[in-house]
Structure 1
Amino acid sequence: MSLGLGPSIDYEIVNQPNVVDLLVSFCYASLYTRASSTDGGIREFPTGLGLQVPKIRKPDSRTPESNLYVDSQKHRYVTKKHAVVLVDPLEVDFDWDNSTAKIVSNPNEVDLEEGQWIVVSTTVLNKSPNPFPPEQTILHHARVVSNISNSLHLNVVSRHTIPTFSEWFNVDVSTVREWVGKKSIPGYIVTYDDDLDDLRDEYQKAFSMMIILASLPSVAKMRTYLMSNQLQQLALAKWNKMSRASVNLLRWIISSNRSYIVQVSEEQTDARRREKIYGVDGWLQFRFAQGSPEKEGLFRQALEPIKKRQKTLLAWHGSGLDNWHSIIRQGLDFSRTLHGRAHGNGIYFSRTFDYSVGYSNYQGTVNTAQIWPHSSLRIQAAISLNELVNSPKDFVSAEPYFVVQECHWTQCKYLFVKSMGESKPGPDKNITTVTPKVVNTDGVPEFVQDPDWVTTGTHGSMLFVPKYAFPSAGDGRDDAVGSRKNELGESEIISSDEDEEDVKFLYPQKALRQAIQTYETDFRPGTLDLSTLPQLAPPSYATEISQKALGQEIRKLQKIQSTTSPHLLGWYINFEEIRNMFQWIVELHSFEQTLPLALDMKKAGLTSIVLEIRFLRGFPMSPPFVRVIRPRFLPFIQGGGGHVTAGGALCMELLTNSGWSPANSMESVLLQVRMAISSVDPQPARLEGTTYTQRDYSIGEAVEAYRRAAANHGWELPADLLDASLNA
């Protein structure tokens, strides 16, 4: 499964909880650095999402008092008593056990209404034998149930300490609760209605986001809730244990991820076990790849002139936890200098695991203040195993480290994570951090490294790397070509002086079979008869902003399509035939041949799935409407899947207001739609019949099915949905 490339965040939490934990943990670490320093950490903030944050600021000498307020004319009152700056606070007496609060003072006349989200800030004196820290502030996130004569009844959904920037100040909430006793305690209430975009300082934005993430329940608890009653199709957006802000921020973290990440299983019976790399004991493994077909195409082009047996090299890259949130979105680059550039400008790699891991700031200990409080993984460090073009002579430096200036000459393939595990094991524990001692690689073909540039694992151990994970290194030979039997029946490695052409000569049938499997597709661009499809006139609501946004998307996709092999891309748009930029016809093709959908298509004589994308009045602020035109799919209730509704619309949270972000590119939308249709969970997509007769889905039935799906999941529909059904 690809995070950010799936049908919904709920689906991804259920199916890949550790990957979601990983993404949230990386984000939290990046926010920690940005909030506590002048540089580093998160590079891009969620903008244009209307993300509401509490009126709580970090005490910081860099922040002038005028910047504490979103509206300086309205807000004039703050208090700095609780280790934070509270804007427009109401003074209250708070009953921890009964979740009630009595308003004592309301100098700014803040109105609190039923259903409103608030935060109660309480500071408690340390009554333990250890007097450090002398006091601790707890934030209670709550929804107002009722407000009768300034007496509030609250539904408290989360409690946590204030995000600190020193691990010495971390105290468990249950410990603080014991200090309180049975009495009411003084506190302050602030509302949850500042827009993140309006905060003037980036470190204050980062601090506000840390507070929201600290209020999240663990991924395991989210998963337990979602699976508690699958017949009701529960959704996080409906759960009373999460604020709308926390759901929206979690959605942004997942949907803005542009990489393919999936955990490599430790289970002996799991198919993904064959992807496991041996020689890195004690580290969790994740398959990792950037999701850009354009970069993949450039990487493959760079491999074409390489005539060596091993077209690629392996190398490690270590980086601090606070950098990985950006790396998995933007890839490795050298725009920031963190450790100097003694060997030139470029991305630094090492063939020694122990050396690279030093740059992850892992020395056996970690500053726990940067760990997401509810993480099950509790990540200490992360390091990636990367594939490089095997041309060290063209690197900026090859010794003692690889320094690569061409970013597209590198691809992250694996992510290794050092996990502390849960601090307190509980019933919702869902991770395994123990690497099996027994190494069984029977039947798994090995990626053979270039003997001149061998990369090693922990403590200098030899790596066993499965060839499945590195298809780019393919040299025209199948798995059996890497070795031959000598007269004694022992394996004999082909010497490095046998080049690619020699192997093709020695093993022509195997080379041909590999080439056909890798490079050919039965799809032929430009053969679709567009006259049989809906043709809409440009809409009257076309604005300059939307036309500019669509023009940029079209130019970007044209470039990607022109530089990427069709079978690698998996989608096709006939740009020359676009007469209305608000309506696109897209063909999805070259599906994995073992998918039931691909088998059905072959029987029906079809080489593509035809989609229509209609851009609504509010684009790019509202999502496009995406539907299948042909062929018809087997409905879900009859055993179909692939997230295609009975009317042909796509059942994806991404394509509703609940999951859409203006930051989404159409490249990512096409990737996500293709991934959703290819998904076999909970059941694979199937065609309605394998004897194809042209019976297209209508726009009316697609819109109606889209409405039903959104209602069932609790997703918010675009206000301009009516535009999709006009001029059908």
Structure 2
Amino acid sequence: MDDIFQEVLALRRRYGLSWAGAEALHFKLADMLTDKDALICQEEDAETMLLKDYDVGNLIDGPEDMNVPLMAFRYFLRRFLMCARCCSVCHRLQTGSTYQATRAFVCKSPSCSTRFYREGVGRCLEYAICTQPTSVDTLVSLAYTASFYEKLSPLPVGLDLRTGPRNTLVDALPEKQVSYMTYDEVPATETSVQICEATLNLLKQIPPIATLKALIDASRLAPETASSRLRVQDLGLPVPEAAWVLMRWVVFSSPMRIEEMRTPMERVRSIGPQWRQFRLTCASQQAEDGFTEAIRDARTRSTNSKVYPSAYGFHGSPVFNWYSILHHGLWLKDIANGRKFGDGVYFSKMWRIAEGFAKTAARAAQWPNRAFDIDQCLALAEVVNERSAFVYDFSTHRWPRKKKPTDVAKHVFVVDKTDWIIWCVCSRKCGIVNAHVLSSRFLMVKGAVADPERGLDDCTAAYGAMGCSGTSHFVKQDPKHVLTADGGAAVLIPEFH
């Protein structure tokens, strides 16, 4: 009784086992602990390192005793301090990074993804619609365009979304008329195409964000719904459940949160007022770790990197690529515009050059219920400033004497190490800028209002005077490699504190 009763009883009640089953599980766990499984040791060591960041003394790992309230408080304090490092569904501690998330996230488990997006565990879609309608509109539009060109990545699998014959939505047909097929069951050769087609069908049925915002605001003022948590499914709209689940995935599956910058003090300077600008936060923890480590290593090898550890550059890409870029960053697996200066990611110090590679999207490829058009996308990226290690840079490249270099050759540089890149997104009818300083990034979008009656005040960027005076601090750029906008004006990137 003194040795194993409490543990066996806890296992029996927790997992619904018989006494024999509970005892077998208890002894199996005991065998694992006897040999100190490598995974257990790894997790213990990782948590020990993380706890050094918190000045809690012996409050968490003090002497063991049978003081149950004290032990419960220690466990509660441990979970509270580390809640930003835990999956919001299964609550498992993610120890692979030194960075903490600034909003709820899920681990890679498919079951956690299903609960997070389908059952509404975690972030509130309704809150995002009311507080950041422009951001929601932009993400849905980018996902729609990517699906139209069959470039959607990642695909919305693991959400228990189902399609019927010819990708007819199962929610729109009587159950007897539908042959159900989950995304994970579609033959591998047809998976991507079918999912993209079904995604288009679902996104078309989502009403304009302005309409959703107005209905949510009105419902919250109504006495009968003011005290309850309102869901978009409860608005009484003829929209299938699968469309709401997909919308939630589109808005929240990206590791970055986009927030519109509305005042001139917050905006990147010298970028035209026709460009909407969004700040990106909460980038991938792994990307942050890799970038910080690369900066640290570059400072030990380069004198210039000690003073100017980061370089900045614009990158242009077709609109249909940007939903994927928000998820993954830039990949080197696809070659879209050749490799004249070598294999890698191409950047330009001149806005005009990068803009030439930002291909427009057809009107038919844009979300029908959008508040504004998204015609082009650019990105402003931060790169580790060790130019001798770049695949190509004019300042380190031996150019033939008899051959006159072009503007492209002078202002383009190529980086093949993706962990050296962190994003600031700009969009010219959608552009993206990412500034690593203090974990701030930017997304800039240029596009006319698609329908004045559908637009939102929140969807109208604050096109104030760009040359305003103030106390803004700007990122320090290498004076030999300053970014320039149209007309040759220097681009100034605000530094957030």
- Paired residues for 1:689-708 under 5 Å: none
Match of 1:134 in 2: none
Q: CA–CA distance in 1 between the matches of 2:363 and 2:379? A: 22
CA contact (8 A) 1:4 1:254 kept: no
Q: CA–CA distance in 2 between the matches of 1:246 and 1:3? A: 23
* Aligned-residue offset at 1:190: 7.0
Cα gap change, 1:457 to 1:54, in 2 (>3 Å): farther
Match of 2:219 in 1: 229
Q: CA–CA distance in 2 between the matches of 1:356 and 1:16? A: 28
Matched to 1:322, the amino acid is F
- Output one character per residue of 1:280-320: Cα deviation in whole Å (capped at 9) or x when no partner: 11101111256222321221222224343222111111111
- Output one character per residue of 1:265-289: Cα deviation in whole Å (capped at 9) or x when no partner: 13xxxxxx53311111110111125
1:436 and 2:447 matched = no
1:275 and 2:391 matched = no
* Aligned-residue offset at 1:459: 4.0
1:49 and 2:165 matched = no
Matched to 1:48, the amino acid is G
Match of 2:246 in 1: 249
Match of 1:214 in 2: 204
1:405 and 2:416 matched = yes
* Aligned-residue offset at 1:228: 1.4
SS of the equivalent of 2:375 reads strand
- Output one character per residue of 1:125-162: Cα deviation in whole Å (capped at 9) or x when no partner: xxxxxxxxxxxxxxxxxx99xxxxxxxxxxxxxxxxxx
Say which structure is richer in helix.
2
CA contact (8 A) 1:380 1:419 kept: yes
- Paired residues for 1:331-480 under 5 Å: 331-362=329-360, 366-399=361-394, 400=409, 401-412=412-423, 413=434, 414-426=442-454, 428=456, 430-433=458-461, 435-468=463-496
* Aligned-residue offset at 1:407: 0.8
CA contact (8 A) 2:142 2:323 kept: yes
2:279 pairs with one of 269, 273, 287: 287
Match of 2:288 in 1: 296
* Aligned-residue offset at 1:380: 0.9
CA contact (8 A) 1:382 1:415 kept: no
Q: CA–CA distance in 1 between the matches of 2:104 and 2:243? A: 17
SS of the equivalent of 1:467 reads coil
SS of the equivalent of 2:340 reads coil
Task: Count matched residues.
Answer: 331
Match of 1:118 in 2: 172
* Aligned-residue offset at 1:195: 2.9
Cα gap change, 1:449 to 1:48, in 2 (>3 Å): closer
Match of 1:16 in 2: 132
* Aligned-residue offset at 1:444: 0.9
SS of the equivalent of 1:117 reads helix
Q: CA–CA distance in 1 between the matches of 2:378 and 2:391? A: 22
SS of the equivalent of 2:265 reads helix
- Paired residues for 1:647-686 under 5 Å: none
- Output one character per residue of 1:472-520: Cα deviation in whole Å (capped at 9) or x when no partner: xxxxxxxxxxxxxxxxxxxxxxxxxxxxxxxxxxxxxxxxxxxxxxxxx
Q: CA–CA distance in 2 between the matches of 1:3 and 1:335? A: 30
Cα gap change, 1:220 to 1:195, in 2 (>3 Å): same
Q: CA–CA distance in 2 between the matches of 1:314 and 1:302? A: 15
Percent of aligned pairs with the same amino acid? 24
Match of 1:32 in 2: 148
Say which structure is richer in strand.
1
Match of 2:439 in 1: none
Match of 1:238 in 2: 234
CA contact (8 A) 2:482 2:491 kept: no
Match of 2:118 in 1: none
* Aligned-residue offset at 1:352: 0.9
Match of 1:325 in 2: 323
- Output one character per residue of 1:212-234: Cα deviation in whole Å (capped at 9) or x when no partner: 10111011212222221321432
* Aligned-residue offset at 1:335: 1.6
Q: CA–CA distance in 2 between the matches of 1:379 and 1:3? A: 27
Q: List alignment gaps of at least 5 residues for structure 2.
A: 1-100, 106-121, 221-225, 395-408, 424-433, 435-441
Match of 2:123 in 1: 7
CA contact (8 A) 1:52 1:196 kept: yes
Cα gap change, 1:403 to 1:31, in 2 (>3 Å): same
Cα gap change, 1:54 to 1:368, in 2 (>3 Å): farther
Q: CA–CA distance in 2 between the matches of 1:236 and 1:458? A: 43
Cα gap change, 1:25 to 1:190, in 2 (>3 Å): farther
SS of the equivalent of 2:414 reads strand
Q: CA–CA distance in 2 between the matches of 1:376 and 1:3? A: 26
Cα gap change, 1:379 to 1:3, in 2 (>3 Å): farther
Matched to 1:337, the amino acid is I
Structure number with bigger Rg: 1
- Output one character per residue of 1:598-628: Cα deviation in whole Å (capped at 9) or x when no partner: xxxxxxxxxxxxxxxxxxxxxxxxxxxxxxx
Cα gap change, 1:411 to 1:438, in 2 (>3 Å): closer
Q: CA–CA distance in 2 between the matches of 1:49 and 1:438? A: 43
CA contact (8 A) 1:352 1:455 kept: yes
Q: CA–CA distance in 2 between the matches of 1:192 and 1:237? A: 24
- Output one character per residue of 1:222-253: Cα deviation in whole Å (capped at 9) or x when no partner: 22222213214321132321210101111111
Match of 1:196 in 2: 183
- Paired residues for 1:617-636 under 5 Å: none
* Aligned-residue offset at 1:328: 0.8
Q: CA–CA distance in 2 between the matches of 1:302 and 1:427? A: 43
Matched to 1:323, the amino acid is N
Matched to 1:275, the amino acid is E
CA contact (8 A) 1:278 1:463 kept: yes
* Aligned-residue offset at 1:4: 6.9
RMSD: 2.7
CA contact (8 A) 2:275 2:445 kept: yes
Q: TM-score, normalised by structure 1?
A: 0.43
Matched to 1:371, the amino acid is Q
Q: CA–CA distance in 1 between the matches of 2:371 and 2:102? A: 20
* Aligned-residue offset at 1:402: 1.3
Cα gap change, 1:293 to 1:378, in 2 (>3 Å): same
Match of 2:3 in 1: none
Cα gap change, 1:358 to 1:32, in 2 (>3 Å): same
Cα gap change, 1:352 to 1:333, in 2 (>3 Å): same
SS of the equivalent of 1:275 reads coil
Matched to 1:303, the amino acid is I
* Aligned-residue offset at 1:377: 2.4
The structure with higher relative contact order (CA 8 Å, sep 6+) is: 2
Matched to 1:404, the amino acid is V
SS of the equivalent of 1:332 reads coil
Matched to 1:396, the amino acid is V
Q: CA–CA distance in 2 between the matches of 1:45 and 1:436? A: 38
* Aligned-residue offset at 1:341: 1.3
CA contact (8 A) 2:383 2:421 kept: yes
